[in-house]
Amino acid sequence: MDFDDKIFVAGHRGMVGSAIFRALTKAGYQNVITRTRQELPLDNSNEVESFFAVERPKYVFLAAAKVGGIQANKLYGGDFIRENLQIEVNIIDAAYRHGVEKFLFLGSSCIYPKFAEQPIQETSLLTGELEETNLPYAVAKIAGTVMCDAYREQFGFNAFTVMPPNVYGIGDNFHPENSHVVAGLMQRFHKAKVNCLPEVVAWGTGSPLRELIYCDDLAEGCIYLMQNYDDGGMINVGTSDEYTIRQITELVADVVGYEGKIAWDKSKPDGTPRKIMNNEKISQLGWKAKTEFRTGLEMMYAWYMQECEVG
């Protein structure tokens, strides 16, 4: 990418999209375009078509998606599959037809099989059953990945998919029902600290293992790939570090400063037992994440205290 190329970041108000936007502008890219949901509803094919016909961006980062944790996926599965499919179909097709030179689709490690061999390689996709707690979202993301591959194969469209592990960081969603694990824990521990609650209940057994990446690291990885990767398909972008849910929970509590008891509700689902990715592909290209987990949590909590409603 040249510094004056027109670059469209779809989903620039989400955690990953905003991180990509920050990283691009910080690096000196001068023609980064964005649209809010009100300005451009990405699930409206006519609006998306008009946008690409007029703006004709050269590069596209598709980070827009309807996302959430286990509870949100369970409650709103229909919304998750419908909205994500509409966004993907509209943007991938319009980008191809209006001459986008390179297209990055942000996938999710949750689309890998529930019992995939660990660490998970890119070739594991569609080799086993999915985790049922996020099935609608995962199926939609698989469809976007396959669509990128099919358009590359049939039309020569230079599209590929980035597969991140669990993402956390500034700009995350702290909604009590719709948040991911780190943001949900951080919000609950903060409220418990402020209100002097003696106990916080965490879901499951605490035994599942997770790999996490700080949002700004993921953004830099995406930009690095847009500059240096042309092989298509999928590429994992993770840290290769893993923590149990119990370790994550206790570390978040420590960063927040909550000193009460953590109780585990074993009647709640654990989700996938282990999820760490094989990151050899991107490592061989010369990229590595740099933010240590506790440091990322501390930056995230500082942002939360400054920007979000607390107390």
Distance from C-alpha of 308 to C-alpha of 171, rounded to nearest angstrom = 10
The pLDDT, as a whole number, for residue 110 is 87
Q: Looking at the annotation, which residues are catalytic?
A: 137
Is 165 assigned a ligand-binding role in the annotation? yes
Is 57 assigned a ligand-binding role in the annotation? no
Give the model confidence (pLDDT) of 179-216 as tens digits: 778 999 999 999 999 999 999 999 899 999 999 999 99
Q: Please state, in angstroms and as integers, the Cα–Cα distance from residue 292 to each residue in 17, 156, 169, 247, 297, following that order.
A: 21, 38, 12, 14, 9
Nearest-5° Cα angle at 60, 79 to 36: 55
Is 203 assigned a ligand-binding role in the annotation? yes
**SS3 of residue 268 by DSSP:** coil
* Three-state secondary structure readout of 217-236: HHHHHHHHHHHHCCCCCEEE
Buried b (16+ CB within 10 A) or exposed e, 95-110: bbeeebebbbbbbbbb
Give the model confidence (pLDDT) of 153-175 as tens digits: 999 999 999 999 999 999 998 87
Report whether 79 contacts 66 (CB < 8 A).
yes
- Number of continuous H segments (helices) and E segments (strands) in the chain: 10, 12
Is 22 assigned a ligand-binding role in the annotation? no
Beta-bridge partners for 8: 33, 60
The pLDDT, as a whole number, for residue 311 is 43
Sequence ranges of the domains in the chain: 7-170+211-239
Is 175 assigned a ligand-binding role in the annotation? no
Band (pLDDT 50/70/90 cuts) for residue 227 is very high
Q: Does domain 7-170+211-239 have CATH number 3.40.720.10?
A: no
Give the model confidence (pLDDT) of 4-22 as tens digits: 999 999 999 999 999 999 9
The pLDDT, as a whole number, for residue 83 is 96
Give the model confidence (pLDDT) of 40-97 as tens digits: 999 999 999 999 999 999 999 999 998 877 777 888 899 999 999 999 999 999 999 9
Band (pLDDT 50/70/90 cuts) for residue 309 is low
Give the percent of the chain with pLDDT over 90.
86
